[in-house]
A and B are shown apart, each in its own frame.
Chain A
Amino acid sequence: MLISVGAVATLFIWCLVRVLSVKKRLDHLAHVEPVGRDELEKR
């Protein structure tokens, strides 16, 4: 019981922490140069 309940509770908490803490690097994902706000305003 302790192994089963402990395992699912740990996995759930780990996932939740990862989801809430991940900050995506959009430039890395889309393979484009990072565009700052000032750059956007110029365009």
Chain B
Amino acid sequence: MTTKQPDGWSSKLGVIMAVAGSAVGLGNFLRFPGLVADKETGGGAFLIAYFISLLIVGLPVCWIEWTLGRFGGSRGYNSSAGIFHAVIGRPWGKYVGILGFIVPVGVYFYYVVIESWCLGYAWTSFSGGLDLGKDAAAYAAHFKQFAGLGADGSVLGLKGPFFFFVGVFILNYVIIYRGLSKGIEFICNWGMPLLIFIALVLLVRVLTLGTPDPSRPELSVWNGLGYMWNPDDVLGGLAKPAVWLKASSQVFFTLSVGFGVIISYASYVKRNDDVVLSSLTATSANEFCEVGLGGMITVPAAYAFLGASAVAGGTFALGFNVLPQVFAGMPYGHLFGGLFFTLLFIAAVTSSLSMLQPGIAFLEEGLGLDRKGSVTLLGLVTAVGCTLVVWFSEGLKALSTVDFWIGDVGIFLQGTILVYVFNLAFGFEKGWTEAHHGADIAIPRFFRPIIRWVAPAYLTAVFLMFMLRNLAGWNLSFTAPAFSPTEPVLDLIGGEGHPPSGVARLTALFLIIFTVFTVVLIQRAGERWNRR
């Protein structure tokens, strides 16, 4: 059974750039450094757990996604639901791929909002409007106003932030409308080298900062690097389940595995083209940006200017409160600050485009829509989701609710499903042979037991640990266990001193409606595919 391929990559490097562009995002430059710098669960123990997770989960799941994607593409399917329909070959198979639509589209609801913050901050920084002096509270107040943290609906009353959001939203759809090679590949081919160039410029700037305040010699960039990278109690750290959970979560998020993006991108790869080396190259490009660039820029710079306390506030605080203050303190700070937020914007736009493509592919092949129709329908769906996130901006409640249920739970679930489908439904031996078809390099044989046994067991254990941590509220301590559900769960069910949140409940209801809507679409798509 074959159907026409609606679009395709124009070169092998193009698909690698697109996958790397999807993987390199805000997490590389903000989340990863924050996790390594965390004194409780970071340091050398985190890095060892991170690299082990990369080896036994990250790389294998990447190879699995690329292999299943190319296989599905050769059968004429480019969406996760279609690919699972082809791989599993049962009537229920297509529903297994539901998360390949829900996760990328759901994450897009809030990711494009953060993307617009990056563009807004780049613009403000270049124009000198982000130099707010030495008062940390001024930067926090600026971000609070810009993102509408103070009150629901306040962003719509601000011309600047709302303008940036609408502009970025439209920009994504203009690019995606141009198609795979003329849109996504074109942007990634220019964007990724530019991103690496900007990151290298910033890296040189940070490494030559020395001691910005001679009266405080302990605050130097070298001490900042030491604070972040020096291993402390490695063995003690590795004994903590929280370290492994954070490390494997970061590997998942940073590689975009379980997003439904790689499987869709790989479906456009030609039947005889390599997937093993391409996958490894995209993964190593992401790791270079994360460990080699992201890990060397943000935290050391923040430490050199403001000390250890500045890097402990979380991803958004580090990116939008601390770093503008850091850039304001250095010569030509508006220029370097503008470059940094431009870098974040490029990283974000190459990722957000990848979140739209699986949805476009599904609507085209499932409902028979043309590009214009699929872009319009997906545009309407995401406009509703984004409006929810933008409107209910107080305390970022809607954003964090979608992030937890889609961006955390959904990705873990989809990654685990992928490994089991590859090993059980597709068949390990068939999958191993399929991966090596047209391969430029061979997967080392020690990955056979890893893909077959270790990755499924490890993923299952991590997923259970994640659920125990967040739903049951286990503090991940064996010596002094305590159980208290985390905030996203308490927001829905309420708890002692924590009334349920109306916004969180409304957001959850919207996500349920969105899921039901997707099930109906998949059912309609299945009827169409059965008629082929």
Contact = CB atoms under 8 A, between A and B. Distances in A.
B: interface residue count bin: 20 to 34
A23 to B, nearest CB: 10
A40 interface: no
A4 B54 CA distance: 13
Interface string B271-293: 01010011011001101101110
Contacts of A42: none
Contact of B47 (A4, A9, A20, A29): A4
Contact of A19 (B228, B281, B287, B290): B281
Given A9-B292, A15-B281, A20-B13, 8 more contacts: A8-B288, A12-B288, A15-B285, A16-B285, A18-B440, A19-B13, A19-B281, A24-B438
Interface string A10-31: 0110111011101010100110
A8 B440 contact: no
Interface string B34-50: 00000000000001000
A35 interface: no
Interface in B1-47: 12-13, 16, 47
B272 A4 contact: no
Contacts of A1: 225, 228-229, 295
B7 to A, nearest CB: 22
Nearest to A4: B291
Nearest to B225: A1
Contacts of B278: 19
Contacts of B272: 24, 26, 29-30
B255 to A, nearest CB: 13
A17 to B, nearest CB: 10
Nearest to A21: B440
B277 A15 contact: yes
B281 A8 contact: no
A37 to B, nearest CB: 20
B369 to A, nearest CB: 34
| The 8 nearest A-B residue pairs measured at CB | A1-B229, A15-B281, A12-B288, A12-B284, A8-B287, A11-B284, A22-B440, A8-B291
Interface of A: 1, 4-5, 8-9, 11-12, 14-16, 18-20, 22, 24, 26, 29-30
B374 to A, nearest CB: 31
A20 B272 CA distance: 17
Contacts of B384: none
Contacts of A16: 281, 285
Contacts of B277: 15, 18-19, 22
A5 B225 CA distance: 12
B296 interface: yes
Contacts of A19: 12-13, 16, 277-278, 281, 440
A26 B272 CA distance: 8
Contacts of A5: 291-292, 295-296
Of B272, B287, B441, which is in contact with the most chain A CB atoms at under 10 Å from its CB? B287
Nearest to B280: A15
B425 to A, nearest CB: 26
15 contacts: A4-B291, A5-B295, A8-B284, A8-B290, A9-B288, A12-B284, A12-B288, A15-B280, A15-B281, A16-B281, A18-B440, A19-B440, A24-B438, A26-B272, A29-B272
B287 A29 contact: no
A15 B296 CA distance: 22
A22 B13 CA distance: 12
B391 to A, nearest CB: 41
Contacts of B284: 8, 11-12, 14-15
Interface string B219-242: 000000100110000000000000
Nearest to B231: A1
Nearest to B279: A15
A10 B238 CA distance: 26
A12 B440 contact: no
A25 B142 CA distance: 58
Nearest to B272: A29
A24 B438 CA distance: 8
Given A5-B291, A19-B278, A12 B438 contact: no
Contacts of A18: 277, 281, 440-441
A25 to B, nearest CB: 11
B281 A24 contact: no
A19 to B, nearest CB: 5
Contacts of B281: 12, 15-16, 18-19
Given A18-B277, A19-B281, A12 B287 contact: yes
A13 to B, nearest CB: 8
Interface in B276-324: 277-278, 280-281, 284-285, 287-288, 290-292, 295-296
Interface string B384-420: 0000000000000000000000000000000000000
Nearest to A30: B272
Contact of A11 (B13, B229, B287, B290): B287
B355 to A, nearest CB: 24
